[in-house]
Structure formats: structure tokens, C-alpha cells
């Protein structure tokens, strides 16, 4: 059996490509997801309905179906989950405490989500996090993590 090929994450996925800007209308409404609302593989608490003017300043990252969100703060919580069609992603905004990873074609979003939720990937994130009481990893360091490529068909 041949070894599994790996590449840096940034070569196969976009990181934090979409965000709400400061010019967003105050009345723009969405459902907000913070880190406490995400467990490993699922959104575990109902997203909070809010408007741009009433939301916390960290409510900025836009998500879409096929993305995977990875907590970059308190990484020991292992808050990683794919965003699927049933989540109505057009109306979801997540905290800046998440990295929003968007797999690039032809990579299958389900395979990518599986990799991002895997023990080796999460352990690497936790190991590279800095800080004692509030460990975190920045998006640049996350982008350098090696991830396996799917085998050719």
C-alpha cells in the first residue's frame, strides 16, 4: 500500500473567504452561531436570531453549504462541524472564533468535513494552539496543517 499524499490545508480549501463588512445594513437579519453552540460534528444549540446592529462584534463570518467550521479558540473543545443544506446556511453567520473552510473543487465537501473532524487533524490543531487559559490557533497556522488527499478513483 502506498503512503497517503498530504498537502497544506490552504492549497485545497479557502479560509475565511466571506464576511459581513462594516457597511452591512443594521437591519440585516441572520441566525448567529457562537463557539458554545457547536460540538464535534454538529450545531448543538439553536442559532440565535439577531440583526447586524444587535449582534456581537464577533458575528461576522458567513457560511454556505459545503463549508466546515473549525473553532480557532479554546480548541480543546473540538468544535468542528460541516455546514449542510439542512442548516439553511444562507442565513447563518458564525463567530470570528471559527475558521470557515471552503473546500476547492474537485474535493468533495463530505470528504473534507470528515478529514476536518478526524482525531489526527483536531489533535494537530490542539497541539499547535498557543496560550494557557484561552488556547488559539491563527488562520495562517491552520492553513499550513497537512491534510490527506483522497485516493484517486
**Whole-angstrom distance, CA of residue 126 vs CA of residue 78:** 8
Question: Residue 89 above 70 pLDDT?
Answer: no
Task: Enter the pTM of the model.
Answer: 0.93
Classify strands 98-103 and 68-71 as parallel, antiparallel or unpaired: antiparallel
Mean pLDDT of the chain: 92
86 band by pLDDT with thresholds 50, 70 and 90: low
pLDDT in tens, 6-18: 999 999 999 999 9
Burial class (CB in 10 A: 0-12, 13-18, 19+), 71: buried
Overall average pLDDT of the 23-50 stretch:
95
Given a cut of 90, whether residue 47 has pLDDT beyond it is yes
- Euclidean distance between CA atoms 58 and 150, whole angstroms: 34
| Structure confidence at residue 149 (pLDDT) | 87
**Strand 98-103 to 13-15 pairing:** antiparallel
* Integer Cα distance of 86 and 100 in angstroms: 18
| Beta-carbon contacts of residue 125 (< 8 Å; ≥ 6 apart) | 70, 75, 137, 142, 145
Q: Please, what are the domains in the chain?
A: 6-139 (3.90.220.20)
pLDDT at res. 74: 93
pLDDT value of position 88: 64
Q: How many residues does the chain have?
A: 153
Question: 14 with 102: CB under 8 angstroms?
Answer: yes
Mean pLDDT for the stretch of residues 121-139: 95
Amino acid at each position: 500500500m502506498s503512503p497517503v499524499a498530504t498537502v497544506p490545508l490552504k492549497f485545497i480549501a479557502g479560509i475565511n473567504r466571506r464576511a459581513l463588512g462594516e457597511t452591512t445594513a443594521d437591519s440585516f437579519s441572520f441566525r448567529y452561531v457562537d463557539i458554545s453552540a457547536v460540538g464535534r460534528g454538529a450545531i448543538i444549540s439553536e442559532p440565535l436570531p439577531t440583526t447586524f446592529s444587535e449582534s456581537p462584534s464577533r458575528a461576522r463570518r458567513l457560511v454556505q453549504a459545503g463549508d466546515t467550521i473549525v473553532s480557532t479558540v479554546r480548541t480543546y473543545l473540538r468544535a468542528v462541524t460541516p455546514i449542510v443544506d439542512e442548516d439553511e446556511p444562507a442565513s447563518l453567520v458564525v463567530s470570528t472564533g471559527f475558521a470557515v473552510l471552503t473546500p476547492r473543487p474537485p474535493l468533495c465537501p463530505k470528504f473534507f468535513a470528515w478529514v476536518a473532524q478526524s482525531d489526527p487533524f483536531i489533535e494537530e490543531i490542539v497541539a499547535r494552539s498557543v496560550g494557557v487559559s484561552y488556547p488559539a490557533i491563527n488562520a495562517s497556522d491552520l492553513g499550513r496543517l497537512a491534510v490527506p488527499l483522497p485516493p484517486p478513483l
